[in-house]
Structure 1
């Protein structure tokens, strides 16, 4: 966790918000209240989600780190076919153009 939540809020404030305003607990309460799901179904879904996340974490940990290149910053940002022709960089002479397979520095 990047911020324990006690840096600028008291522990009491954090606990109060978690007990009354937690969106996951609120969704669970609504699902139960309107008979959309049972407690067992919610537990099964939660278990399935945790298993999926654990598998993805293992996969990410086993994967090699991404290649250290500037163009990686622009990968998987646009839907194929909707890319902009030129992307302006931080400074005036710094620009990137889309080429098949990714952005290239100009």
Structure 2
């Protein structure tokens, strides 16, 4: 069962998922704090390159299955044109309404 994006608990995470699903790179980047960082499967990655490759140029899309930690930890079916669909975990750190770090990987 999926959770409708509009029902996600954390408003910043909700906007992140909306931006990903809309293919709106500018809106996504606007939600990031200066110097934001990320990791994929436990390895830190260069954020701008990763989001372009894994989300926006490959038409990434998230269907959230569960949320925890006040909506800052998600399990979602993520798909893109490069890898197809996989079950992924996402954890977000947020300060002053901006994402300072996110971590993702296979769930």
TM-score (norm 1): 0.18
The structure with the largest strand share of the pair is 2
Where relative contact order (Cα < 8 A, 6+ residues apart) is larger, the structure is: 2
The structure with the largest helix share of the pair is 1
TM-score (norm 2): 0.18
Q: Radius of gyration: which is bigger?
A: 1
